[in-house]
Amino acid sequence: MTGTRLPIKNGNITLDDFKLNENIPLTQCLDDLKEDMLQVEYPGGYILDIGWRPSFNSNGQFYVALIKDYDWEHPIYHGTAKNIDNLKKRISEASELL
């Protein structure tokens, strides 16, 4: 993760392509707004998944999903955010379920 500190609890980071700096407007970072940005695995079969949908689109939004036992069809938490401040809030909400 570059430039932005996210409220991620300790886990095994399996994908880290989150290159955003919260001091730079998202409209100037379109090449970094993609579906697969960050994944963290936790004990007990949990995966925190963070990305942007639709990829590379300024009208998209962040999504945060907390997956249990690889059941991607039924996340135990799902939230969206249009900016990094709200993304941090969604991550904290998901983290409370760990």
Q: Which of 20, 18, 25, 72 is nearest to 50 (CA)?
A: 18
Q: Which two tokens stand for residue 37?
A: 């940005």
What residues make up the domain containing 38? 12-95
Q: Is there a domain that residue 37 lies in?
A: yes
Task: Quote the tokens at residue 88.
Answer: 């941090």
Number of domains the chain contains: 1
DSSP 3-state of 46: strand
Residue 50 domain-assigned (yes or no): yes
How does pLDDT run across 13-53, given as a tens digit for each residue? 999 999 999 999 999 999 999 999 999 999 999 999 999 99
Q: What whole-number distance in Å separates Cα of residue 75 and Cα of residue 31?
A: 27
Residue 24 falls within a domain, yes or no?
A: yes
pLDDT given at position 3: 67
Decide if 84 is inside a domain.
Answer: yes
Q: Is residue 32 part of a domain?
A: yes
In a domain, 7, yes or no: no
Q: What is the pLDDT of residues 69-95, one digit of tens each?
A: 999 999 999 999 999 999 999 999 999
pLDDT at 4 over 90: no
Amino acid present at 52: W
DSSP lists the bridge partners of residue 80 as 63
